[in-house]
Amino acid sequence: MRQIISPCRNGFTLIESLVVVGVFSILALISSQILLSTLKGTTKSETESEVHQNGDYALSVISQMLRNSRRLISPTTSGSYTSLTIQNPDRNQTVFTCDLPNQTVASNSARLISDNIKATTCSFEFTFPPSGPPTVTIDFTLVKNPTSSRPEETAQTDFTTQVTLRNY
C-alpha cells in the first residue's frame, strides 16, 4: 500500500506575512495619532488652567484688598491708570501696579502672577460718583508662551471685574 504524502506547510507565505505587517502598521499609526491628539489636548488644558488660576488669584487679591481698604490714596480723579494706592485696615499702604515693561501685575512690587505668565494689557479705571463710594474696574490680559510654535502651549485670557469701595 502506498501512502500519499501531502506536502508539509511549516510557515506562512510571503503574501500572508505582508498582509499582517500592513494591518499592524495601520493599527500602530492610528493608535499613535490618538495618543498624540490626547497629549496635545492635555497640554492645552493645563496651559489654559494655569493662566486662569493666575488671573483669578490676582483679581481676588486686588478686589479683596480694595473692598477692605480704609481709603483710596491715589488716584483721586476719574480716569484710567496703571497704578493705585490704598490704605489698609492696619493703616499701611499698598500699591497695585500694572508693570507692563516687565509684563506683570504687582502688589508693593511683589508679583501677583507667575514668572511664566505675562500681562499684555492692564489698567485700573476709576469712577468717582457725586454721591456714593468710588468704583474701580480692574482689567488685564494674561498670556502664556505667545511666541511658541506649538499652539497647544499658548493661552490668552482677559480678566475684568468691578469693585465698589465700601469703607468710605
46-91 pLDDT, tens digit each = 999 999 999 999 999 999 999 999 888 999 899 999 999 999 999 9
Between the two ends of the chain, the Cα-to-Cα distance in Å is: 119
Residue 151 in any domain: the answer is: yes
104-163 pLDDT, tens digit each = 999 998 999 999 999 999 999 999 888 888 899 999 999 998 788 888 889 999 999 999
91-116 pLDDT, tens digit each = 999 999 999 999 999 999 899 999 99
Residues 6 or more apart from 67 whose CB is under 8 A from it?
163, 165, 166, 167
Please state the pTM of the whole predicted model: 0.80
Residue 7 in any domain: the answer is: no
CA-based nearest residue to 168, from 90, 55, 106, 86: 86
Return the amino acid letter for 103. Answer: Q
Residue 84 in any domain: the answer is: yes
Residue given cell 502664556 in the structure block? 144
What backbone torsions phi and psi does residue 110 show, to the nearest 5 degrees? -90, 130
Residue 2 in any domain: the answer is: no
CA quadruple 54, 55, 57, 62: dihedral sign: positive
Q: Which three cell numbers stand for residue 105?
A: 501685575
pLDDT at 7 over 90: no
Residue 9 in any domain: the answer is: no
What is the tally of structural domains in the chain? 1
CA atoms of 43 and 153, how far apart (whole Å): 6
Residue 34 in any domain: the answer is: yes
Helix (H, G, I), strand (E, B) or coil at 165: coil
Residue 51 in any domain: the answer is: yes
Question: Which residue range(s) make up the domain with 107?
Answer: 14-164
